[in-house]
Amino acid sequence: MSESLDATTTNADATVAQVIDTIAETTTDVRTAIFTERGHSDSVNPTGDEQLAADIRADEIFEQRLLAIDGVASYASEEREAVATSAGRLHVAIDPLDGSSNLEPNSGMGTIFGVYTERPPTSGRNLVMSGFVIYGPVTSMLVARDGCVREYLLEDGAKRLVDNEVTVPEDPTVFGFGGGVDSWTDDFETVAESIRAELKLRYGGAMVADINQVLTYGGVFAYPALMSRPEGKLRLQFEGHPMAYILESAGGASSNGDGSLLDTEPTELHERTPLYLGNEQLIERIEAAVER
């Protein structure tokens, strides 16, 4: 590698490390916002979800902190229409408060993030790191980078490594499918019924927590194509790609019904996608059933 290429890689690595540490540090303020900003706002996000004050606050804090990092060129968020820009080479995409409808019943919520080499909308193959935070009984963080997934506990924003190599357990145990049986297609309903007969239901209404069930116990999470909404509910760039990168780095698989979510490139920043994530054999089984 030439000296200048070497320097570029080193700079990029340093930027990625800074993004991870900044998100970890910012979780203390997000936890505060979950406590203080509990009300509804008058606005909706670009995909039409009603925003809570906490969604807006979390987005503002992340934008301010992440865009201030040298090397971060842009900040794209599920909670804002346009990409905010600065100078740099890497691009952050984030769902600042995933599962915020769990705020009222005081259940799990999280932050999902990814760093891309190209400005979104872009392919999942341009991810260099992704991860998520869970604001549960404790605050934890998963980071996928260089083919490896690590888990940390966060205390006052500081990371403590608890698992150096997170992998999807080989024997699947749990499943969680969003959308509701009445809205599923017949093909998905048939395969879902056969999986339901084999595994245990775990569905909490926050993708971060449900995906962490899959990473902990093995199994599958899906938010499928719905009859009334073939594009599904979840957003490719902010939820699909980062989770696919984590699951695939942990030895699992991802699909939009046709192939890996990482191979898909949104034409619009806030595009939705059907999404299937978990143990490889389960994803293959679902893919065979729903293939378009």
- Write out the residues near ligand AHM by the rule CB under 6 A: 49, 78, 95, 98-101, 178, 205-207, 223, 233
b/e code 148-162 from CB counts within 10 Å (16+ = b)? ebbbbebeebebeee
Tokens of 151: 């888990």
CB of 188 to Mg ion, least distance (A): 21
DSSP notation for 196-219 = HTTSEE---S-HHHHHHHHHHH-E
Contact 238, 79 (CB under 8 A): no
69 or 207: CB nearest Mg ion: 207
Contact 232, 223 (CB under 8 A): yes
Q: Is 55 in the site for Mg ion (CB under 5 A)?
A: no
DSSP 108: -
Q: Which of 98, 151, 210, 287 binds Mg ion (CB under 5 A)?
A: 98
59 binds, among Mg ion, ligand AHM, none (CB under 5 to 8 A by kind): none
73 binds, among ligand AHM, Mg ion, none (CB under 5 to 8 A by kind): none
Q: Is 37 in the site for Mg ion (CB under 5 A)?
A: no
99 or 266: CB nearest ligand AHM: 99
Q: Which of 55, 95, 151, 210 binds Mg ion (CB under 5 A)?
A: 95
178 binds, among ligand AHM, Mg ion, none (CB under 5 to 8 A by kind): ligand AHM
CB of 82 to ligand AHM, least distance (A): 18
206 binds, among Mg ion, ligand AHM, none (CB under 5 to 8 A by kind): ligand AHM
CB of 78 to ligand AHM, least distance (A): 6
DSSP 252: -
Indicate the burial class of 217 (C-beta count within 10 angstroms; 0-12, 13-18, 19 or more).
middle
Could you give the angle at the alpha carbon of 206 between the alpha carbons of 205 and 212, nearest 5°? Answer: 120
